[in-house]
Amino acid sequence: LKCDSVVSEISAGPGTVNFTINRELLAKTVLQQVWKDGSEYGVKSELFSTVPRQKAVIEFSSPNIAKKFHIGHLRSTIVGNFIANLKVALGHEVVRINYLGDWGMQFGLLGVGFQSFGNKEKLKSSPLQHLFEVYVQINKAAEDENIKRLAKDFFRKLEEHDEQTLSIWKQFRDLSIEEYIRIYKRLGVHFDEYSGESFYQEKAQEVLKMLEDKGLLQKTIKGTGIVDLSEKKDLSTVSTVMRSDGTSLYITRQFLVISFRDLAAAIDRMNKHSWDTMIYVTDKSQSNHFQHLFQILKLMGYDWAERCQHVSFGLVQGMKTRRGEVIFLEDVLNEVRSRMLQNMTSTKTTKEIQDPVETAEKVGLAALIIQDFRGLLSSDYQFSWDRALQSRGDTGVFLQYTHARLHSLEQMHGNAEPTDVNVACLQDPDAIPVLQHLLRYDEVLYRSSQDLQPKHIVSYLLTLSHLAAVAHKTLPVKGSAPDVAQARLCLFHAARSVLANGMKLLGITPVTQM
């Protein structure tokens, strides 16, 4: 075995052959690649050269109008956003869809409630809060026969497109979406399409007819409509699709029931977007729902159902604000911002920050996202404010702190192009691990692209931050010889660049001051 430009030394030990890589070549190759590829570093790797570019439709967040935007929706929102970001970074075309719970009997109740307790001013100023309060009030009387009758009437009028009733419903929907958009903006999330159950009223009837024509819809003795999903066609696995009174089941994802609307929505998206893959991001309690949905689509003759995927996640326990239970997503965002602001004001460097509130928001959001993404998505976890907001350890705050420190180093000393750098100055035992780690970024992206789990990227970025923190301590730029200082600056620039790229994929905006 001969040495060459890559292998600088070969030695044999007892039962082993040891190869030493040319470390100057390592430093030069990595630093030049990071510099050249910039935000596309890792994505341009040969690992992705055989992966075909595809069109993906991703349905995520999907809150119910007038109900709590609960923490499950927060998880769906940040997980869906991560998957979309990753796919876009890898060159795929992505359509982000928010499928709102905007139809069903609860709107009959809500309409009646608004006529009794509604306030137009409050509806305009804080629609989600006000509709929720109205819904809670009317729900107390929901068992009253008179209220039940009025609610049924209101919803029947909605289904019959009565103009006055529709305009009330449309106002609820439009004002809610406006407020959602404002909240999503705080999360750094956007959607290409706001769709909802209301869109598929007519198309749901077409699906019903298709199921009947194909002989897939069967009636039980009680008159309930079912589809037989069992292999032997012995009714051992069935999916309920219709109530005995002939109405298709609304807000059915909570139960093991498929609504014609979900079937209609899937078919419509294929017709509209001709996608290669469609991903639904919801909690794991809905796994059976999607299994049945995909099976029915396949029985209907849609082979593309095999390219549908359900990305499920576990439950978050114990997320409370200082005021008690979390009702709205905004409560969480305000809470994390105020706690972070409090932590920042107690440290001496914070006074110089231009916009401390904005910084606290970004750092707080990083804390939420990293705590959420550290484990397998399907795992339940216990939320802890104290753990999430620690500035040391494996937290989002630590990632932001590392990024801000490396950024200020560049602000102070500028940064050097790798072509001018003497890589012989980067052979220190604390520099090599950073270089080796930077080299692995593409493998981590590849793993996450295969299983859509953010934890690979999270653990990579945390390790990178720890390695960079050690190097920052032991390899000073200030006071070093000019070529040593330049080489170290180049190393820190590369670490910061990859750290920022990875954070953005996760849905985190890197801060430059802290």
Residue 376 belongs to domain with CATH number: 1.10.730.10
In contact, 39 and 501? CB cutoff 8 Å: yes
| Beta partners for residue 216, in sequence order | none
Q: Name the region of 288 (left: φ>0; alpha: ψ -120 to 50; beta: rest).
A: alpha
Residue with tokens 């560049």: 410
Interatomic CA distance for residues 176 and 196, integer angstroms: 13
Q: Which residues contact 347 (CB under 8 A, 6 or more apart)?
A: none
* Angstrom distance (rounded) from CA 357 to CA 344: 10
Q: What is the spatial order of strands in the sheet that 238-242 belongs to?
A: 217-219, 225-228, 238-242
Q: What is the pLDDT of residue 418?
A: 85
CB atoms within 10 A of CB 349: 11
Burial code (b: 16+ CB inside 10 Å, e: under 16) for 101-134 equals bbbbebbbbbbbbbeeebeeeebeebbbebbbbb
Number of independent structural domains in the chain: 1
**CA 170 remoteness from chain centre:** 28
pLDDT at 204: 83
Whether 218 and 256 have beta carbons less than 8 Å apart is answered as no
For the CA atoms of 344, 389, 79, 359, the dihedral, rounded to the nearest 10 degrees, stands at 0
Give, as one character, the DSSP assignment of residue 247: P
Q: Which of 271, 268, 250, 247 is nearest to 259 (CA)?
A: 250
Which residue type occupies 42?
G
Determine, yes or no, domain membership for 171: no
pLDDT at site 253: 38
Neighbour tally for 174: CB within 10 Å: 12
Q: In sequence order, what are the residues at sequence separation of 6 or more whose Cβ sits closer than 8 angstroms to the Cβ of residue 465?
A: 398, 399, 402, 499
At position 360, the amino acid (one-letter code) is A
Catalytic residue among 70, 310, 362, 407: 70
Domain that holds residue 449: 26-40+351-506
Catalytic residue among 28, 44, 55, 67: 67
Helix (H) or strand (E) holding 242: strand 238-242
- What pLDDT sits at residue 257? 52
All residue ranges of the chain with pLDDT < 50 are 250-256
> Structure pTM?
0.92
Confirm whether 449 is domain-assigned.
yes
Nearest to 151 by CA among 116, 198, 196: 116
How many Å apart are CA 294 and CA 303, to the nearest integer? 10
Does 70 qualify as catalytic in the annotation?
yes
Return the sign of the alpha-carbon dihedral for residues 340, 345, 348, 353: positive
In DSSP terms, 193 is beta-bridged to 97
Query: In the annotation, is 130 catalytic?
Result: no
CA distance 367 to 319: 14
351 an active-site residue?
Answer: no
Helix, strand, coil % over all residues of the chain, rounded to 5: 60, 15, 30
Q: CA-CA distances (angstroms) from residue 191 to 13, 84, 116, 269, 383?
A: 58, 10, 34, 15, 27
Within 13 Å and on the Cβ side, how many CA atoms surround 263? 32
Pairing of strands 55-59, 16-21: unpaired
Q: What is the pLDDT of residue 348?
A: 64
Q: Is residue 429 part of a domain?
A: yes
In a domain, 405, yes or no: yes
Q: How far apart are CA 61 and CA 184, in angstroms?
A: 10
Asked whether residue 376 is assigned to any structural domain, the reply reads yes
pLDDT at position 255: 38
Q: What is Dmax (Cα atoms) for the chain?
A: 91
* Residue 498 covered by a domain: yes
Residue 372 lies in a domain: yes
